[in-house]
C-alpha cells in the first residue's frame, strides 16, 4: 500500500518560493507512473497543479506553468514541488497524490497547509 506524506514550510512570504516534498513509502517512485500535486484554497474547490512521470515527463496546469517546477529523486523516493512568485492566491492545502488506476488518484497524502503572508 503506497503512502504519501507532504512536508515543507507552512508559511511563505509574498513573492517568495513555495517548496514542498512528498515522501513515498510502501512502493517505489519508479514503479508507479505519475506523481501529482493538487491543491485546495480555503473555502474553494480543488485544483490540479501538475504531474510528473518517473521517466521525467511533466504535465503542468497551464495557469501555473510559468511559475512551476516539479522534480523527483528516485534515490530518496521523493518528489518535489516548487512554485515561484507566490501570492495570497496560492494559500491552500497542498496534496501529493498518485494512482494505480487510470487518470485518477487513489493514493493521497494527508495534505499540508501553506499560507502565503508577510
Partner 1 sequence: QSALTQPASVSGSPGQSITISCTGTSSDIGAYNYVSWYQHHPGKAPKLIIYDVTNRPSGVSNRFSGSKSGDSASLTISGLQSEDEAEYYCSSYGNRITYVFGTGTKVTVL
Q: Is 106 in the site for partner 1 (CB under 8 A)?
A: yes
Q: Is 109 in the site for partner 1 (CB under 8 A)?
A: yes
Total residues belonging to the chain: 118
Q: Alpha-carbon distance 107 to 78, whole Å?
A: 15
Q: Site size for partner 1, by CB under 8 A? A: 21
Q: Is 61 in the site for partner 1 (CB under 8 A)?
A: yes
Q: Alpha-carbon distance 65 to 29, whole Å?
A: 23
Burial (Cβ within 10 Å: 0-12, 13-18, ≥19) of residue 17:
middle
Q: Is 62 in the site for partner 1 (CB under 8 A)?
A: yes
Q: Alpha-carbon distance 31 to 41, whole Å?
A: 31
- Contact string 63-92 vs partner 1 (x = CB under 8 A): ------------------------------
Can you tell me which of 10, 42, 45, 56 binds partner 1, judged by CB under 8 A?
A: 45
With cell 495570497, the residue in question is 88
Which chain residues interact with partner 1 by CB under 8 A?
38, 45-48, 59-62, 95, 99, 101-106, 108-111
Amino acid at each position: 500500500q503506497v503512502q504519501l506524506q507532504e512536508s515543507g514550510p507552512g508559511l511563505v512570504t509574498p513573492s517568495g518560493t513555495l517548496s514542498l516534498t512528498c515522501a513515498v513509502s510502501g512502493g517505489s517512485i519508479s514503479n508507479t507512473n505519475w506523481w501529482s500535486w493538487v491543491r485546495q484554497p480555503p473555502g474553494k474547490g480543488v485544483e490540479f497543479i501538475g504531474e510528473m512521470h518517473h521517466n521525467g515527463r511533466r504535465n503542468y496546469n497551464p495557469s501555473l506553468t510559468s511559475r512551476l517546477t516539479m522534480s523527483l529523486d528516485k534515490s530518496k523516493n521523493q518528489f518535489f514541488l516548487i512554485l515561484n512568485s507566490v501570492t495570497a492566491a496560492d494559500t491552500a492545502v497542498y496534496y501529493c497524490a498518485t494512482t494505480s488506476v487510470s487518470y485518477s488518484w487513489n493514493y493521497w497524502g494527508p495534505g499540508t497547509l501553506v499560507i502565503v503572508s508577510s
